[in-house]
Amino acid sequence: MPTLSRFLLFVFIASSFKIGSSIEVHVINALPRGSAPMEIRCNSRSTNLDAKQLKSGDDYRWIVQKERATYLCAALWVNKIASWHGFQPRRDANQKSVFWLVKENGFFLGFDNSSWVKKSTWESE
Ligand SMILES: *[C@@H]1O[C@H](CO)[C@@H](O)[C@H](O)[C@H]1NC(C)=O
């Protein structure tokens, strides 16, 4: 097979297997406007992301690379705490993006930033 055809075949196969594709995870603070910022920190076994302060309306995002490890997130807001799986390979690995909407009544998961399923709640300290 000519070199160019071989190259194009390789590109086609590589893109159909999404080699090197990464997934963007968002955590959107949808707590009441003007309320205290929420503190959040997410880690996988091999990646420690910096702790962040999110104001109402902020969209915090990070990229999950090929490793596809589970990310555990912990959050603190006023006198409430929460922890949840921000990224879970079995649940999320086939998505392009993972969105978390954080509200007073809990943590909502969506893959298109418009339809949401409640997955977790705040606990009082
Ligand atoms: C998610 O949806 C909100 C509200 O419609 C919009 O303001 C925001 O830009 C969207 N974010 C992304 C990353 O699509």
Give the predicted TM-score (pTM) of the model.
Answer: 0.84
Is 16 inside any structural domain?
Answer: no
Is 5 inside any structural domain?
Answer: no
CA of 59 to the centre of ligand 1 (A): 9
Strand ranges, E, within 1-125? 23-29, 38-43, 52-54, 59-64, 71-77, 80-87, 97-103, 106-110, 117-120, 123-124
pLDDT in tens, 37-78: 999 999 999 999 999 999 999 999 999 987 789 999 999 999
Q: Could you give the number of structural domains in the chain? A: 1
Q: Is the pLDDT of residue 16 over 70?
A: no
CA of 79 to the centre of ligand 1 (A): 28
Is 42 inside any structural domain?
Answer: yes
Is 91 inside any structural domain?
Answer: yes
What's 86's domain CATH number?
2.60.40
CA of 113 to the centre of ligand 1 (A): 6
Q: Helices marked H in 17-112 — which ranges?
A: 89-92
Range of the domain at 78: 21-124
Is 13 inside any structural domain?
Answer: no
Q: Is the pLDDT of residue 14 over 70?
A: no
Is 14 inside any structural domain?
Answer: no
Of the candidates 105, 104, 108, 110, the residue with the CA atom closest to the CA atom of residue 119: 108
| Residue 86: Cβ within 10 Å count | 27
